[in-house]
Structure 1
Amino acid sequence: MSASPTSFFWYELMTTDMKAAEAFYTAVVGWRPETWGGSGTPSYTVMNAGERGVGGIMDIPDEVRQSGGQPAWLGYIYASDADAATAGVEKAGGAIHRPPTDIPGVGRFSVVADPQGVTFMLLQPDGPDQPPVPAGTPGHVGWHELYTTGWQKAFDFYSSQFGWTKADAMDMGEMGIYQLFAAGDEPIGGMMDKPEQIPVPFWQFYFNVPAIDAATERVKENGGQVLMGPMQVPGGSWIVQCLDPQGAAFALVAPGDASGSKMV
């Protein structure tokens, strides 16, 4: 188990059309794209909220395409020792898809999966840690949601590896329990058993936007698809769940006022 709680701190979209994805998220979320790397390295675009990077966009690697991989957002969990964290995942019943590998100038990473088969990455970054971003900062990730098979076992896994703790739990009736979790003082996400219409377990990430109605219209205007919402959730925030034009799932979250009306 991690000495102190650790969580996601970088996000990556693997897609079939980098330029189209860059344009879509720039328009919808307000990110500023910036090309990273040099000659001889695969194309990679860093998406910035202000002056700070939030995540990256890259082409789906050939080996992932050949195995049937589809466009998707993946998250990196911080590791102070990537090798030890990777070994811990395997020992706890997870899988290693790519062993720890160095990225010059970035850090040491691995590609792993939890016992239910949900892929995520571990990253031991080079250089000093960046300060935390205030909750709700536009363009950053405001919520992490795991759709899985057997959320109790999933929680036990992430708790044992990364120090996550249980927060409130909500009974959603036929949909089961929605368990909030924290990596420190405040909840950062929730997990639940996936509905039948979701084919495989996965992590969904919610990007902060100032107003949900305007953001939802931007999704539609730029070729995305709205799957659910906008809807208000406990605590007052508004969410919408979507697909981007290449088929990757993502979600948006915006604050709500005391009366429950959507912000404009």
Structure 2
Amino acid sequence: MTDFNGKFFWYELMTSDPEAAIAFYGDVVGWTTTPFGDAQQGHVYHVVSGSAGQLGGIMAIPDEAKDCGMTPWWGGYVGSADVDADAARLTAAGGSVKRPPADIPGVGRFAVVGDPGGATFMLLKGSSPEGMEAAPPMATGHVGWHELYSGDFAADLAFYTGQFGWSTGDAMDMGEMGSYQLISQTGGADFQAMTGGIMPIPKEMPAPLWLFYFVVDDIDAALERVKAGGGTLLNGPMEVPGGAWIIQATDPQGAMFALVGMRGV
């Protein structure tokens, strides 16, 4: 059983059309889904699985969130041993609580939190003693990279390293765009240990956010599936250190996501 405390381990799409999103990502990334919940009550949560097991879920945007103007969005859950204590600790460190700790029957206790720069993520402590195992690095369909478009680069870097114990690797100079700071949620400072990056939010981005890169076998073939399925390419394909290629896109409902994979020979 992997210890996910302080690490992203579950990824969730809240969308305006869950069935359409399931079809889109099933084709693009190769996910399978399993419904969880009461279909008659309209409370269905679709658990998503990649090549190495479950990794997240897809659900309809809750009515109360829709009334507040929420649009389709990918969010990430960070493991917590004590959601209430962590929410208080993160607030004292410059974060904010956007939804106070609460129980999800049969799932666990969660809270919605913001970092100092304004990006949102969730805390979760599962109610079951049986934990998940981490997927192997770059397992198809799973998250291969985590990227924060930061609203306050210095404060956010200090927040995540100080509060979650993340380590830093090299910082790459991006000129006018600032630095791209490699980070690891699992320890170690060499490139192979890196699990993501933090960069200042580009002027084209409407708000700070975490972007998650899903692993595909062939980036060019996946891009064609994105286009055929009604998605919109925002950037790429672009080669990154290590020989992989990335794209950034929005799905047909408007949620931003990213893909990482090798280029076909």
TM range (shorter): over 0.9
Partner Cα distance (2:144, 2:233) in 1? 19
Counterpart amino acid of residue 160 in structure 1? G
| Structure 1 SS opposite 2:113 | strand
Q: How does 1:236-247 map to 2 (within 5 A)?
A: 236-247=243-254
Aligned residue number for residue 95 of structure 1: 96
Alignment of 1:51-62 (within 5 A): 52-62=53-63
Which of 216, 232, 236 is equivalent to 1:229? 236
Shift of 1:128: 2.5
Whole-Å Cα distance in 1 between the matches of residues 219 and 234 of structure 2?
A: 14
Q: Deviations over 1:58-93 (max 9, x none)?
A: 111122212221111000000011111111111112
1:200-220: per-residue Cα shift (whole Å, max 9, x none)? 111000000011000000000
1:131 is matched with: 133
**In 2, are the aligned partners of 1:32 and 1:50 still within 8 Å (CA)?**
no
TM-score by length of structure 1 reads 0.92
Q: Which amino acid aligns with 2:215?
A: N
Aligned to 2:84: 83
Q: CA deviation at 1:50?
A: 3.8
Gaps spanning 5+ residues in structure 2: where?
none
Structure 1 range deviating more: 46-55 or 224-233 = 46-55
1:141-156 matched pairs, under 5 angstroms: 141-156=143-158
Moved over 6 A (4+): none
Counterpart residue type for residue 88 of structure 1: R
Return the TM-score normalized by structure 2.
Answer: 0.92
CA distance in 2, matches of 1:151, 1:32: 36
Q: Deviations over 1:181-238 (max 9, x none)?
A: 1112311100101111111111000000011000000000100011111110122110
Q: Distance in 1 between matches of 2:52 and 2:172?
A: 37
The alignment of Structure 1 onto Structure 2 pairs a total of residues equal to: 256
Match of 2:182 in 1: 180
Please list the CA deviations of residues 132-186 of structure 1 after superposition, one character each: whole Å capped at 9, or x if unmatched.
2110100000000000123121011111221111111101112110001111231
Secondary structure of 1:115's match? coil
Secondary structure of the corresponding residue to residue 195 of structure 2 = strand
Matched, 1:202 2:209: yes
Give the match for residue 65 of structure 1: 66
Q: In angstroms, what is the RMSD of aligned CA positions?
A: 1.6
SS of the counterpart of 1:83? helix
Contact 1:30 1:49 in 2 (8 A): yes
Amino acid at match of 1:86: A
Distance 2:194 2:135 in 1: 15
C-alpha distance in 2 between matches for 1:40 and 1:246: 23
Kept in 1, the 8 Å contact 2:5–2:78? The answer is no
Greater CA drift, 59-68 or 168-177: 59-68
Using the alignment, how far apart are the partners of 2:158 and 2:4 within structure 1? 16
CA separation in 2, counterparts of 1:152 and 1:112? 18
Q: What percent of counterpart residues are identical?
A: 52
